Structure 1
Amino acid sequence: MKLSKEAPAFEFDESSDLPLWVQLRNRMAYLINSGFYKAGDKLPTVRKYAADLRIAYNTVSKAYMGLERDGFVTTVRGSGVFVNDPEKIRKASGQVDALVEDFMKSCLKEGMAYEDVPKLVSACVRRMKREHEKQK
């Protein structure tokens, strides 16, 4: 098992409209994409990183959850958070981009305006989320 690599210093932009967890998530994604963190590297623990940055534990936890949701990292219960292969992330992202582009072309072909598509997607997401919650 690899030891966690110390994260470089990071300062939050207090004037930004982005929440701290999003700024941290974006910074960590940059460090992964730039090669600072390599595939298989262990990230600092949530508690250690929160202490180092002097921010709430929940802020770091939310940033890590965002990274995992976006495919940048994988959490191994009891072992830590590990960086995924950036090439695999880009490949998956490219496949999703192609799906979205096909979807957009289909919507436009059906006569929808560009501005109407996000409304359609939002309504679909809300409906699917409600259905999912009912199934729980």
Structure 2
Amino acid sequence: MNDRTRMSVLSAADAAPGWNWALDFGRQQMAVAVEGASTMYRGFEAMRRVQEQIAHHAAERHAEAAEQLRARKAPADLIATQSQLLHDDLEDATRYWQQLAAAAFEMNSQLLGCATHLVDTDGAFAAARIFHVPKT
């Protein structure tokens, strides 16, 4: 493209606001993609925190149960310790999946919010006006 052609393209872009939108669309797409990636990584961090909290809680609970099992107790106490551990594990598993699903839903809603930034409606309408042919 020579300088004369480049100048005519630039002056056409400056003259028609719809062309500005068309030329800026790639930048907008990249900004939305990067914003979406940032949102996704924040969601992954939230999911990791859920996993870390549940694993920490389970590790403490299992260590406590191991101490109780090492102590000499009646057989009924040993069964009670094991059943309590199983009960707590099932509660934690339920809580884990609920919190993980909540973090995933939050991440998805934020990603949908990013997608709404993709189209600037004023710019899209300005670009559409370029191609509109009025009826006579």
TM band (smaller chain): under 0.3
**Greater fraction of residues in strand:** 1
Q: Which TM-score applies when normalising by structure 1?
A: 0.25
Instruction: Answer 1 or 2: which has greater helix percent.
Output: 2
Query: Which structure has the bigger radius of gyration?
Result: 2
Under a length normalisation based on structure 2, what TM-score does the superposition of the two structures give? 0.25
Q: Which has the higher contact order (CA 8 A, sep 6+)?
A: 2
